Amino acid sequence: MTTILITGANRGIGLEFVKQYAADGAEVIACCREPAKADELKAVKGKVRAMALDVGDPASVEALKKELGDRPIDILINNAGIGGPHPVTPGTLDMEAWLNVFRVNSVAPFLMALRFKANLKAGQKKKLVTITSVLGSIAESGGGNQPYRASKSAVNSLMHGAAKDWAKDGILVGIFHPGWVQTDMGGSGAPVKVEDSVKGLRARIAELNAASSGSYRDYSNRAIPW
């Protein structure tokens, strides 16, 4: 049976991943900050275990690792993410808020990858997936939203490096943009339904192989220039 760990699993894209993978019969380790309050997550049928994880808190990552021990993980999906702060002007630049975006969007996915690398190596599929954004593309940048954009460029760089560094361990790395999706982050006016985004992302994850590891693609398989 495939075991999948998902961060930010209580709402949005993360919750939809849980629903679709659970419906397929996978065993899902669904991580979120407050499992006790995650009613929608707890209502998902199947082999779903809600577990506490604040990705921005190394002690929380450590506690999860302690609880899971050496248990094999086939697919680790770094999905949790935050937007803002914006606008960024000289009078409004909030250093702590900016650093928090990097903490959650850039450093945390890499910390998760490092901490659960042995679990991934012990799994059958060995897939490390990060949900990034097209806004992390420097080549396609239209400016604005600087902290979020830069945090996603940074995680792209870290995951591209992991694909190179961990190829010898058989670990495959996916760096995927979900589209502009109807979630709390994307807003109700976004063009892509969360079900369609996750369907596409799951197809990208399923076809991830040694040749495509480390590439930057969207949910519909468009290759995004760095």
Binding residues for ligand NAP, per CB under 6 A?
7-8, 10-14, 32-33, 53-56, 79-82, 104, 131, 133, 177-178, 180-181, 183-186, 190
Name the minimum Å distance from CB 100 to ligand NAP. Answer: 9
Nearer to ligand NAP, 119 or 133 (CB): 133
Nearer to ligand NAP, 90 or 142 (CB): 142
Nearer to ligand NAP, 3 or 10 (CB): 10
Name the minimum Å distance from CB 15 to ligand NAP. Answer: 7
Name the minimum Å distance from CB 57 to ligand NAP. Answer: 7
Residue 29: partners with Cβ closer than 8 Å, 6 or more residues away = 3, 4, 5, 6, 49, 51, 68, 73
Q: Exactly one of 21, 148, 216, 219 is catalytic; which is it? A: 148
Rounded-to-integer distance, Cα 168 and Cα 109, Å: 20
Helix axes 108-115, 58-68, angle to 10 degrees: 30
CA distances for 175 relative to 35, 156, 216, angstroms: 27, 7, 5
Residue 69: partners with Cβ closer than 8 Å, 6 or more residues away = none
* DSSP annotation of 135: G
User: Any catalytic annotation for residue 21?
Assistant: no
Name the minimum Å distance from CB 89 to ligand NAP. Answer: 23
Return the amino acid letter for 167.
A
Catalytic residues: 148
